[in-house]
Homo-oligomer: A and B are copies of this chain.
Amino acid sequence: MNGSNEKTKTKIKAIPEPTLRRLPLYYQYLKKIQAEKNSQYISCTQIGNELNILPIQVRKDLEITEASGKPKLGYGVKGLIGNIEDFLGWNNTTEAYLVGVGHLGSALLGYHGFKEYGLNIIAAFDSDESKIGTETHGKMVFPVSKLPEMIRRMGIKIGILTVPAYCAQHLTDLMVEAGVHAIWNFSPVKIMVPPGIIVQHENLASSLVVLSKKLSMSIKTDRQ
């Protein structure tokens, strides 16, 4: 346990997921600072105060992007932005397909912020005849029947799933079969995938639960 021969070869350091989730926050703030041209340098203290995160936490998070700062000054804003972009792979975009052009699906198609984060939704798919052939926020809608072939031909690695519960598993199977490596699942059910396939399940109910539980607990505390 004295850290000499454990995994020195490939230097795989596990990245804490909470850190991963905070990096975009730092990034957004840094971009704002850069736009305001307030200063060349920024410290963990400043970032932390602005985002309500302890400065030590900020420093540890930035450390994993291999950023380095100067005592008394802090980090160079420009360099730091570059470090985060490199670390998160935001310099080369990944292309994705979206399946299910309902309310949420078209909202995601209309969100142009994804490009900034290295994701480009290049087309959408639906089974509704009235949607096929039309454009939603500039993205063509194709029939689901063409999904597997197009995934294969374009080498698509990420599928975004915004369909109702009843067909989520079927479309997952289609996509995985065709070669997708990761699925961003906005459908309200857990989907099953073979080992090695990555699923990120976006569950609004979970977030709502956290919010409302905190709320009910804060009200309870007030009255004590």
List residues of chain B with CB within 8 A of the CB of A52. Answer: 190
Q: Report whether A210 and B218 are in contact in the complex, using a CB–CB cutoff of 8 Å.
A: no
Residues of B within 8 A of A210 (CB): 17, 20-21, 200
Q: Contact between A103 and B110 (Cβ–Cβ < 8 Å)?
A: yes
Q: Taking A50-B190, A111-B103, A196-B218 as contacts, is the C-beta distance between A211 and B158 under 8 angstroms?
A: yes
Cβ proximity bits A199-216 to B, threshold 8 Å, 1 near / 0 not: 010111111111111111
Q: Among the interface residues A24, A28, A88, A118, which one has the most CB atoms of the partner chain B within 10 A?
A: A24
Interface of A, secondary structure class, is helix
A184 is an interface residue with CB less than 8 A from chain B: yes
Total interface residues on A, using CB and 8 Å? 59
In the complex, A182 has a CB within 8 A of chain B: yes
Interface assignment of A106: CB less than 8 Å from any CB of chain B: yes
**Judging by beta carbons under 8 Å apart, are A28 and B188 in contact?**
yes
Cα separation A94 to B213 with both chains bound (whole Å): 12
Q: Complex formed: what's the CA distance from A212 to B202 in Å? A: 14
Contact assessment for B213 and A88 in the assembled complex, using a CB-CB cutoff below 8 Å: yes
B interface footprint on A10-30 (CB within 8 Å = 1, 0 otherwise): 100001010011111100110
Q: Which residues of A contact B (CB under 8 A)?
A: 10, 15, 17, 20-25, 28-29, 50-52, 88-89, 94, 102-104, 106-107, 110-111, 113-114, 117-119, 137, 157-158, 181-182, 184, 188-190, 196, 198, 200, 202-216, 218-219, 224
